[in-house]
Amino acid sequence: MNSRKLPKERYKGDDYDFEPHHEAKEELAAAFVEANSAEVDIYAGATSTSNMAKEAVALALEKAGL
């Protein structure tokens, strides 16, 4: 099994004070479900958040064998 993990220090919590980050989290979650994939468009204004979310979803799908 793959033991790759995302670095914890890259995680931004709910107290992160940047509104596009929080908007992106909501929009991206819906986009991942709709696409059934980590390959979705990046949320404008939250590129770092988008890239981390895409990486996390890709890793989760890989670990799930999908």
Give the model's pLDDT for residue 66: 83
Task: List, as one string, the DSSP characters of 44-61.
Answer: TT-HHHHHHHHHHHHHHH
Give the model's pLDDT for residue 57: 95
pLDDT by residue for the chain (66 residues), tens only, comes to 456 665 665 667 777 788 888 899 999 999 999 999 999 999 999 998 899 999 999 999 999 998
Domain regions of the chain by residue span: 17-63
Give the C-alpha distances (Å, rounded to integers) separating 44 from 26, 49, 58, 63.
13, 10, 20, 28
Does this model's pTM top 0.85? My answer is no
